[in-house]
Amino acid sequence: MSENKQLRDVFDAIADPTRRQLIRLLAESEEVPLHELTAQFAMGRTAVSKHLTILKEAGLVLDRKVGRETRYRLNASPLREIQDWVAFYNQFWTTNMLRLHRLLEDEEE
């Protein structure tokens, strides 16, 4: 799958706390085998694999086979969409708080 062609929405992919934890674990390492990721959760290998598949469909995770083992790594570039969305609302709230501050100053005068 091309990194530019996402099959799943990034927001949907990070909506689940388990998937957010997987992203965190992958961000802390260069590459992690499935069995090491599975050891971090109170769920089986199949459940962790399903979460990784969703992250792969959103372009957030890349994998490669090394012998019989599958290793996973983070592709953080799709997170830029989330960063941009949050930045927009950060600016929105900053602007509105400044307006409120000015309004309150005007009332004090």
pLDDT of residue 2: 43
Q: For residue 5, what pLDDT band results from cuts at 50, 70 and 90?
A: low
Task: Write down the residue that tokens 């990784």 correspond to.
Answer: 52
Q: Are 77 and 3 in contact (CB under 8 A)?
A: yes
Tell me the pairing of strands 32-33 and 69-74.
antiparallel
What's the rounded Cα separation, in Å, for the pair 57 and 29?
A: 20
**pLDDT of 18 over the 80 cut:** yes
Residues 6 or more apart whose CB falls under 8 angstroms from that of 44 comprise 38
- For residue 3, pLDDT beyond 90: no
Q: How far is CA 85 from CA 13, 23, 34, in A?
A: 15, 19, 31
The pLDDT assigned to 90 comes to: 86
- Give 35-89 pLDDT, tens digit per residue: 999 999 999 999 999 999 999 999 999 999 999 999 999 999 999 999 999 898 8
Q: Are 27 and 76 in contact (CB under 8 A)?
A: yes
**Is this model's pTM higher than 0.85 or not?**
no
Average pLDDT value for residue range 5-30: 93
